[in-house]
Structure 1
Amino acid sequence: MYMIAGLGNPGEEYEHTRHNAGFDTVDALADELGVRYWKNEGGALVGKASYRGHELLLVKPQSFMNTSGGPVSKLMRAYGVAPDHLIVVHDELDIEPGTIRVKFGGGHAGHNGLRSICDKLGTRDWFRVRIGIGRPPGRKPVVDWVLSRPRSKDDTEAFDHAVSEGADAVLCLIDNGLEKTQQKFN
């Protein structure tokens, strides 16, 4: 079993913001895999799917970004998911909009959702699909940037492309492992 945890903030005011790239990617996966039913479980919305012989848990924590680790760790324990079968999808400031990167392990780089997961799991050894949102232009504060929606046609297309690529990368990671997925997407 794999758990795919998309990070974001619950509520309409945060829908499709840059910080919710993880939620949007998990929603794209749900559409592709035919997940129509979401259950509120362990502080998250959980959808279940089968993919090429693997059971998948699609997870969107509903506790806000900074405390994502609680629902993720609770569901991992409940379903017996090992950290090396956890794939976290999140926004990444240091990656250009429209691109993604896949990696295993690493720090949290100041991302509070990742920090929370690291703290609750007691390890940093899990997969990450990083959705590029880029840095804010000019002197715009980072918090205002990540909590805003892409506005221009080009920004929206780049964001949507990265979300789609992120969903494809998750399935590639399950099918082909890290090295081949990095060769294809990084």
Structure 2
Amino acid sequence: MKKFLIVGLGNIGDNYTDTRHNIGFKILDEVAEENSASFETEKLGDVASFKLKGKTFILLKPSTYMNLSGKSVKYWMDKENISIENILVVTDDVHIDFGTIRLKAKGSAGGHNGLKDIQEKLNTQEYARFRFGVGANYPRGRQADFVLGEWSKDETSELIERLPVSSKIITSFGIAGLANTMNEFNGK
């Protein structure tokens, strides 16, 4: 049975729950809910798993805080014996318009500290990422305040539609593969 590690990046704690930076956690919560899985607090993160069409999906919300996510990813990758091509990291991206989705097979961290740490701990850029656009509607020099800020009312209402699409992307990654998933969902 093929296993997939789906990592949602975010920060632990109630004060981060509804922030843009925590979209990775929010998307994994949606996936878990749609697949009747529940998170348990385990070593270095909250973990849930489910089976779908002969595949096992392990959902990981690292408890190491965003900038140290690599430690958790490496631990669970090794513990579950999951190869790099079966890992998908879900993260926010200020370089993409709000709600726009971009999947990539590999790439640079693009200034994202969580991705930088994963890249450093795995010693490669060769892992798939699912970037969810949060936009760049902030004054110069205020990026941190923006991504750590809560969603606006308009964004919150649009998330109701975007979260189920995001969940479909994650299951498609495991069932249809990255290339097919990119063709179907990129830019939507």
| Separation of aligned partners in 2, 1:178 and 1:77 | 21
Judged with a 3 Å threshold, the aligned counterparts in structure 2 of structure 1 residues 123 and 54 are, in CA distance, closer, same or farther, namely same
**2:89 aligned residue:** 88
- The alpha-carbon deviation at position 42 of structure 1 amounts to 2.5
Within 5 Å, which residues of 2 pair with 1:166-185?
Answer: 166-185=166-185
Structural RMSD (CA): 1.3
Q: Are the aligned partners of 2:55 and 2:175 in contact in 1 as well (CA < 8 Å)?
A: no
Judged with a 3 Å threshold, the aligned counterparts in structure 2 of structure 1 residues 160 and 97 are, in CA distance, closer, same or farther, namely farther
- The alpha-carbon deviation at position 157 of structure 1 amounts to 2.5
Q: TM (normalized to structure 2)?
A: 0.93
Decide which of 34, 37, 41 is 2:36's aligned counterpart.
34
- The alpha-carbon deviation at position 178 of structure 1 amounts to 2.1
| Separation of aligned partners in 2, 1:177 and 1:75 | 21
Q: TM (normalized to structure 1)?
A: 0.94
- The alpha-carbon deviation at position 39 of structure 1 amounts to 2.4
| Separation of aligned partners in 2, 1:42 and 1:167 | 24
| Separation of aligned partners in 1, 2:160 and 2:141 | 22
- Aligned-residue sequence identity (percent) comes to 34
Q: Which runs of 5+ in 1 are unaligned?
A: none
- The alpha-carbon deviation at position 158 of structure 1 amounts to 3.0
- The alpha-carbon deviation at position 120 of structure 1 amounts to 0.5
Q: Which residue identity does 2:165 align to in structure 1?
A: E
Judged with a 3 Å threshold, the aligned counterparts in structure 2 of structure 1 residues 160 and 111 are, in CA distance, closer, same or farther, namely farther
**2:57 aligned residue:** 56
| Separation of aligned partners in 1, 2:159 and 2:12 | 19
Aligned residues: 184
- The alpha-carbon deviation at position 140 of structure 1 amounts to 6.3
Within 5 Å, which residues of 2 pair with 1:32-181?
Answer: 32-36=34-38, 38-139=39-140, 141-152=142-153, 154-181=154-181
| Separation of aligned partners in 2, 1:160 and 1:145 | 20
